Amino acid sequence: MAIFSVLKSTLNLMIPIFFAAFGGLFPALAGTLNIALEGLLLSGAFCSLAVFHFSGSVTAAVLSAIFTATVLSALHSLAVFKLRADLFISGLAINLFSSGLCVILSEKIFGTKGVITVNNADGFLILYVVLAIILLIISHLAIYKTPFGYRLRACEKSTDALVSLGIKPAFYQTAAFLISGFFCGIGGSFLSLNLGAFVPGMSAGKGWIALAVIFLGVKKPVGLLVAAFVFALAECFSNYAQGFWNIPAGFILAFPYICTLVAMITVSVIPYKKVR
């Protein structure tokens, strides 16, 4: 029973990281990076719970989260690829905008800047696990077995080669950002629907951890799954350790982020060609 409880907790923590990492995978394969994963998760979490509160429909809630995160991701890509904004500044702006917007809308719609709960929400872990497996398979096939995937990965290698063939790299990079919003919307909806509540800042750095997962997973779908599970297990360990070890709570809570730092250093030290 203890093992089952740990596994369930780990999966609950893994799902949003997994979807956020997949959201960042496609831009990474296209030779760019989506820094806005944190904000996309948070906006998806708020929108899904708000729609579920008024409609009672899980489908509508998830679709609304996907729509919201995709729109924000589209604005991010517009700023970067059309208006030539700095990639990192634009991504941070989306993160800050999402955080502030959720608080404002929460106050306007629900009359509170704090926790929002719904009575009819129930655990959706199995549903999201099945969805994650299906999307993992579809993503693998799309990346490695379709012309879209070949051209997407070619953006990372040489945009000049694509241009010489009459292919516009910006189209595939923009598409990658839209796909990023799609995945982050699903991950955000899990955060709030599975908990049955929205808490300001509930993404809690999962978007940033997802960026580390992308590179630790060597930009491969299966690698991302394994890396996301490892990070979730580390966070689960930190949660359980608080009740058993006489260690300062601040250090225990920082353990997942320490793992993130160690992983990023490891990936940067080991030559990428050897990892791959």
Give backbone dihedrals phi and psi of 119, rounded to 5 degrees, phi first.
-85, -25
235-252 pLDDT, tens digit per residue, is 777 766 665 666 665 666
107-131 pLDDT, tens digit per residue, is 888 888 778 888 766 668 889 999 9
Domains and CATH numbers, the chain: 2-204 (1.10.3470.10)
31-50 pLDDT, tens digit per residue, is 899 999 999 999 999 999 99
Asked whether the whole model's pTM tops 0.85, one would answer yes
Separation between Cα atoms, residue 265 and residue 156, nearest integer Å: 22
Separation between Cα atoms, residue 211 and residue 86, nearest integer Å: 18
**In this structure, are residues 183 and 70 in contact, taking their beta carbons and an 8 Å threshold?**
no
Positive or negative, the CA dihedral 206, 155, 143, 79 is: positive
Non-local CB neighbours of 56 within 8 Å, separated by 6+ positions: 120
The H or E element spanning position 116 is strand 116-117
**In this structure, are residues 189 and 62 in contact, taking their beta carbons and an 8 Å threshold?**
yes
